[in-house]
Amino acid sequence: MLTLYVKTGCPFCIKVLEAGRKLGIAFEEKNIADAKILEELIEKGGKQQVPYLVDDATGVEMYESEDIVCYVTKLAKKS
Protein backbone atom coordinates (compact mmCIF):
# COMPACT_ATOMS: atom_id res chain seq x y z
CA MET A 1 0.00 0.00 0.00
CA LEU A 2 1.29 3.42 -0.96
CA THR A 3 0.22 6.22 1.36
CA LEU A 4 0.69 9.82 0.27
CA TYR A 5 0.40 12.67 2.74
CA VAL A 6 -0.86 15.76 0.95
CA LYS A 7 -2.17 19.27 1.50
CA THR A 8 -5.03 20.73 -0.51
CA GLY A 9 -3.71 23.06 -3.21
CA CYS A 10 -0.08 21.96 -2.85
CA PRO A 11 1.44 22.05 -6.36
CA PHE A 12 4.05 19.44 -5.46
CA CYS A 13 1.34 17.08 -4.19
CA ILE A 14 -0.64 17.62 -7.40
CA LYS A 15 2.49 16.76 -9.42
CA VAL A 16 2.85 13.42 -7.61
CA LEU A 17 -0.86 12.59 -7.83
CA GLU A 18 -0.92 13.33 -11.58
CA ALA A 19 2.17 11.17 -12.14
CA GLY A 20 0.52 8.37 -10.20
CA ARG A 21 -2.64 8.60 -12.31
CA LYS A 22 -0.64 8.50 -15.54
CA LEU A 23 1.34 5.50 -14.33
CA GLY A 24 -1.68 3.66 -12.94
CA ILE A 25 -0.37 3.90 -9.38
CA ALA A 26 -2.99 4.31 -6.65
CA PHE A 27 -2.30 6.13 -3.41
CA GLU A 28 -4.14 6.21 -0.14
CA GLU A 29 -4.28 9.97 0.31
CA LYS A 30 -4.06 11.49 3.76
CA ASN A 31 -4.67 15.23 3.91
CA ILE A 32 -2.85 17.13 6.64
CA ALA A 33 -5.77 19.57 6.87
CA ASP A 34 -6.97 17.03 9.46
CA ALA A 35 -5.03 17.72 12.68
CA LYS A 36 -4.75 14.00 13.48
CA ILE A 37 -3.23 13.31 10.05
CA LEU A 38 -0.79 16.20 10.49
CA GLU A 39 0.27 14.78 13.85
CA GLU A 40 0.70 11.34 12.25
CA LEU A 41 2.88 12.84 9.50
CA ILE A 42 5.13 14.61 11.98
CA GLU A 43 5.47 11.40 14.02
CA LYS A 44 6.49 9.44 10.90
CA GLY A 45 8.72 11.90 9.10
CA GLY A 46 9.70 14.43 11.71
CA LYS A 47 8.47 17.50 9.89
CA GLN A 48 5.39 19.15 8.43
CA GLN A 49 6.31 18.78 4.77
CA VAL A 50 4.27 17.33 1.94
CA PRO A 51 4.15 15.37 -0.21
CA TYR A 52 5.37 12.47 1.92
CA LEU A 53 5.22 8.92 0.62
CA VAL A 54 5.07 5.75 2.70
CA ASP A 55 5.41 2.38 0.95
CA ASP A 56 4.34 -0.24 3.47
CA ALA A 57 5.51 -3.08 1.21
CA THR A 58 9.14 -1.98 1.20
CA GLY A 59 9.42 0.30 4.23
CA VAL A 60 10.43 3.21 2.00
CA GLU A 61 9.43 6.67 3.22
CA MET A 62 10.36 9.90 1.46
CA TYR A 63 9.73 13.59 0.97
CA GLU A 64 10.34 15.59 -2.24
CA SER A 65 7.96 15.34 -5.15
CA GLU A 66 10.65 14.62 -7.75
CA ASP A 67 12.04 11.74 -5.68
CA ILE A 68 8.53 10.34 -5.21
CA VAL A 69 7.76 10.57 -8.95
CA CYS A 70 11.01 8.73 -9.74
CA TYR A 71 10.18 6.05 -7.16
CA VAL A 72 6.63 5.40 -8.43
CA THR A 73 7.90 5.41 -12.03
CA LYS A 74 10.28 2.58 -11.11
CA LEU A 75 7.43 0.74 -9.37
CA ALA A 76 5.24 1.07 -12.47
CA LYS A 77 8.01 -0.33 -14.69
CA LYS A 78 8.33 -3.38 -12.43
CA SER A 79 4.61 -4.15 -12.74
Q: What is the pLDDT of residue 42?
A: 97
What CATH number should be reported for the domain holding residue 50? 3.40.30.10
pTM, two decimal places: 0.95
Q: What is the pLDDT of residue 37?
A: 98
Q: Mean pLDDT of successive 10-residue segments in the chain (79 residues)?
A: 97 98 96 98 96 96 98 91
CA distances to 15, 22, 27, 57, 70 from 49, in Å:
15, 24, 17, 22, 18
Q: Report how many domains make up the chain.
A: 1
Q: What is the pLDDT of residue 23?
A: 96
Its domain, for residue 32, covers 2-78
Q: What is the pLDDT of residue 78?
A: 85
